[in-house]
Amino acid sequence: MMSVENSETININVLFFAKSRELAKTSRAVFAVESVVKTGQLLKQLIDRFDLSAISNCIILAHNENYLENLDEEIRLQQGDEIAVIPPISGG
């Protein structure tokens, strides 16, 4: 059962905020990813694909508006789910 789920690739919507939007050169993108993936792996794939290495240590990820707390935890994604990439803003 798990292996079938693991092998499925789905499309998610990635939203970029603040500095990540500048680096990715877009505010949103469709991204193909395994439906069951560790948060840390998803983060790494996003950093590689969207040139986010400059801010790799200060990004938070949110899955359907919920913070992904543990990089070692597996998450289940569904077609069309939303992942937000949120670096801090410091200006004011």
Partner 1 sequence: MIDDEAVNNAKERLRQEIGDLTAQLNAKKQRLRDLEATTTDVDDDSNAVSPKQNQRALTNDDIARYSRQLILPGFGVAGQLKLKTSSVLIVGAGGLGCPAAQYLAGAGCGHVGLVDYDRVDKSNLHRQTLHTITRIGMDKTESAKIALEELNPHCRISCHTRLLSRFTAMHIIRDYDVVLDCSDNVATRYLLNDACVMLRKPLVSGSALKLDGQLTVYNFGVTGPCYRCIYPVPPPPEAVTNCGDGGVLGAVTGTIGSLQALEAIKIIVGLGDVLAGRLLIFDGSTLQFRNIRIRSKRENCHICSPQPLITELIDYEQFCGMHATDKDNPLQLLEPEQRIDAMDYKALQQQQPAHLLIDVRQPAEFEICQLPSAVNVPLAQILDDSYLKQLGSQLDSKELPIVVLCRRGNDSQIAVQHMRNRFPDHSIRDLEGGLHAWSSQVDPSFPTY
In the three-class reduction of DSSP (H, G, I as helix; E, B as strand; rest coil), residue 22 is classed as helix
> What gap in Å lies between CA 49 and CA 33, rounded to an integer?
12
Residue 6 touches partner 1, criterion: CB under 8 A: no
> What gap in Å lies between CA 54 and CA 71, rounded to an integer?
19
User: What tokens appear for 29 in the block?
Assistant: 């993108």
Taking the least distance from each CB to partner 1, the nearer of 3 and 92 is 92
Identified binder of partner 1 from the candidate list 14, 19, 46, 83, rule CB under 8 A = 19
Nearest distance in Å: CB 17, partner 1: 6
Residue 71 touches partner 1, criterion: CB under 8 A: no
Please report which helix (H) or strand (E) contains residue 40, including its range.
helix 39-49
Pairing of strands 36-38, 9-16: unpaired
Residue 50 touches partner 1, criterion: CB under 8 A: no
Identified binder of partner 1 from the candidate list 3, 9, 57, 78, rule CB under 8 A = 57
Q: Which residues bind partner 1 (CB under 8 A)?
A: 17-19, 22, 27, 54-55, 57-58, 60, 62, 65-67, 69, 84, 86-92
